[in-house]
């Protein structure tokens, strides 16, 4: 191989390695709608049991009281203990059923004083303005539900409502993530313990959108607008 060809070859190899490392460093979030589950079918009217989280929620990790879990419940739930559940085809018991597609996640923070969390590491798309997801809460007054990215708590607002295939309602939420666009970190959803009642939340159809979520005007903004209007009024009065 001559010197020029050798240099071109090494340059191409270097570019290939750089691209590979860049892709690895900026890994995108996966399985945001939970449809990558590889689970046995549970007949209608029957309850499932524990299944590996790697089969039920590929790409995701979960914890109870900060302790990682390796098993989750399939087409089943627990009235007393905190759990992570995956509801799939034929599920028609607690909640609105499957929110979208074939699978929905159910986070149960129950009697024991433990938070239940689901998280994944990844990079928010560079053009993302908002995070959107669908959710349903059991007895909303008791439910404590938080969303964070890289340790920063997000502030979801209601965007719309929908109905499952079974005709049950759920809510679509959105939260601003423009500040974190292009950044890599941990996206986490948590059902927080509430000693007044069950803090249970179904979660599905997570996505990033280029649509922005307009925040409510704060006191500082309103004060600034008021100041501008007052100044304009005085200026017009002088004329």
pLDDT in the model for residue 153 = 97
Percent of the chain residues topping a pLDDT of 70: 78
pLDDT, tens only, 224-233 = 334 444 444 4
Span between the terminal Cα atoms of the chain, in Å = 83
Distance, CA of 229 to CA of 239 (rounded, Å): 16
pLDDT, tens only, 135-148 = 999 878 889 999 99
Q: What is the residue whose two structure tokens read 């008021």?
A: 226
Q: Does the pLDDT value for residue 216 go beyond 60? A: no
pLDDT in the model for residue 1 = 53
Quickly list DSSP for 94-156: STTS-SSTT-EEEEEE-SSS--EEEEEEEE--TT--EEEEEEEEESGGG-EEEEEETTEEP--
Q: Does the pLDDT value for residue 93 go beyond 80? A: yes
Distance, CA of 64 to CA of 62 (rounded, Å): 7
CATH code of the region 31-209: 2.60.120.260
* DSSP one-letter code for 194: -
Q: Domain segments of the chain: what residues?
A: 1-28, 31-209
pLDDT, tens only, 32-84 = 999 999 999 999 989 999 999 999 999 999 999 999 999 999 999 998 899 99
């Amino acid at each position: 191989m001559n010197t020029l060809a050798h240099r071109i070859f090494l340059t191409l190899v270097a570019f290939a390695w750089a691209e590979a490392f860049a892709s690895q460093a900026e890994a995108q979030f996966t399985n945001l709608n939970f449809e990558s589950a590889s689970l046995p079918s549970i007949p209608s009217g029957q309850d499932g049991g524990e299944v590996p989280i790697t089969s039920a929620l590929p790409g995701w990790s979960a914890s109870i009281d900060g302790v990682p879990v390796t098993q989750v419940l399939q087409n089943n739930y627990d009235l007393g203990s905190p759990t992570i559940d995956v509801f799939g085809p034929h599920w028609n018991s607690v909640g609105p059923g499957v929110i979208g597609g074939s699978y929905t996640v159910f986070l149960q923070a129950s009697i024991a004083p433990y938070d239940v969390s689901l998280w994944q590491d990844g990079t928010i798309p560079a053009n993302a303005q908002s995070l959107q997801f669908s959710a349903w809460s059991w007895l909303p007054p008791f439910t404590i539900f938080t969303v964070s990215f890289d340790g920063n708590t997000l502030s979801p607002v209601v965007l719309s409502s929908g109905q499952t295939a079974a005709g049950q309602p759920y809510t679509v939420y959105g939260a601003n993530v423009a500040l974190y666009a292009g950044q890599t970190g941990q996206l986490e959803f948590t059902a927080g313990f509430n000693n007044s009642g069950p803090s249970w939340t179904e979660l599905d159809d997570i996505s990033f959108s280029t649509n922005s979520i307009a925040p409510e005007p704060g006191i500082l903004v309103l004060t600034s607008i008021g100041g501008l209007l007052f100044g304009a009024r005085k200026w017009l009065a002088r004329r």
